[in-house]
Structure 1
Amino acid sequence: MTDISLAYSPVTVDDVDAAIAFYRDALGLELLNDVSSDGHRWVSLGFTNQPGVTLVLSDPGAGRSPDDGEALARLVVKGSGPGPFVFATSDLDGLYERVLASGAEVLQEPKVQPWGPRDCAFRDPAGNLIRINQA
């Protein structure tokens, strides 16, 4: 069997700076890199407990054709972009309170789901669905 692991996961956002504040300050990810090229930015954020796993924030047009960028922008603005993005934490209540204090839109307060996990749900500033499970 081949040794394989997840390295990067792209998250499309309409405002990279607002997304940085959410993912860094509310969720606690570490800013790793901020690259600009041709009017676009790719911002990498990592996890202290999972070195090598990285979220990459970028605008809809970054690295895409103009038509694809416009189509993706329409989906992101509607909150229908890729996702949900699911995180896990050992302190769901504490993280929920921190994300709530950030002003993020709450979709679901922490609760036990019929399929097993205790989780909550938010939208990031771009409208992406974020679920957080109790680890």
Structure 2
Amino acid sequence: MNLTSLRIITDDLKNLVQFFEKATDLPANWYTEDFAEIVTPGGTLALGSTRTMGLFGQNITEAASNKSVIIEFRVKNVDDDYERIKDLAGTIVQKPTTMPWGNRSLLFRDPDGNLINFFTPVTPEAISKFGQ
């Protein structure tokens, strides 16, 4: 089994896609006006409008209400990315900080309030874990 993608459902798809294009420095692939993806070597961040959820059922998601998931991106240099996105992010929750498990981490919120973690492994153990 392979985790293929994570999908965020939003009321403002264009805004959220533009945010992630700027934050990740990757272009989005638009498939319809209600669905786009940001593809990385490790997985895909799918972004869909609330209209897409009608295909699955009624009242099964609520946009901009995530309180328990962190979307994480391993980046080359989290300090450089902080400088690049600090004015883009809605809220910086934690500036780059080295965590006890060996990753240097930047935690911020996207326009819908979802928590995003950019991290760079910095200790030998963390670097080894990610095969760098």
Pair in the same fold by TM > 0.5: yes
CA drift at 1:8: 2.2
CA drift at 1:54: 1.8
- 1:9-28 to structure 2, matched below 5 A, reads 9-28=6-25
TM-score by length of 2: 0.77
Which residue of 30, 36, 42 corresponds with 1:43? Answer: 36
Distance 1:68 1:83 in 2: 17
User: Equivalent pairs: percent with the same residue?
Assistant: 24
Structure 1 match to 2:103: 117
Conserved? CA contact 1:108–1:122, under 8 Å: yes
CA drift at 1:103: 4.0
Which residue of 23, 26, 33 corresponds with 1:29? Answer: 26
TM-score by length of 1: 0.76
Distance 1:85 1:103 in 2: 14
Structure 1 match to 2:5: 8
Conserved? CA contact 1:109–1:121, under 8 Å: yes
- 1:67-86 to structure 2, matched below 5 A, reads 67-69=59-61, 72-73=62-63, 76-77=64-65, 79-80=66-67, 83-86=69-72
Conserved? CA contact 1:105–1:124, under 8 Å: yes
Structure 2 match to 1:131: 117
For the residue of structure 2 that corresponds to 1:97, the secondary structure is helix
Higher relative contact order (CA 8 A, sep 6+): 1
Number of residue-to-residue matches in the alignment: 119
For the residue of structure 2 that corresponds to 1:30, the secondary structure is coil
Q: Runs of 5+ in structure 2 lacking a partner?
A: 122-132
Conserved? CA contact 2:89–2:108, under 8 Å: no
Conserved? CA contact 2:8–2:48, under 8 Å: yes
Q: Runs of 5+ in structure 1 lacking a partner?
A: none
Distance 2:109 2:69 in 1: 11
Considering only aligned residues, what root-mean-square deviation do their CA atoms show, in Å?
2.0
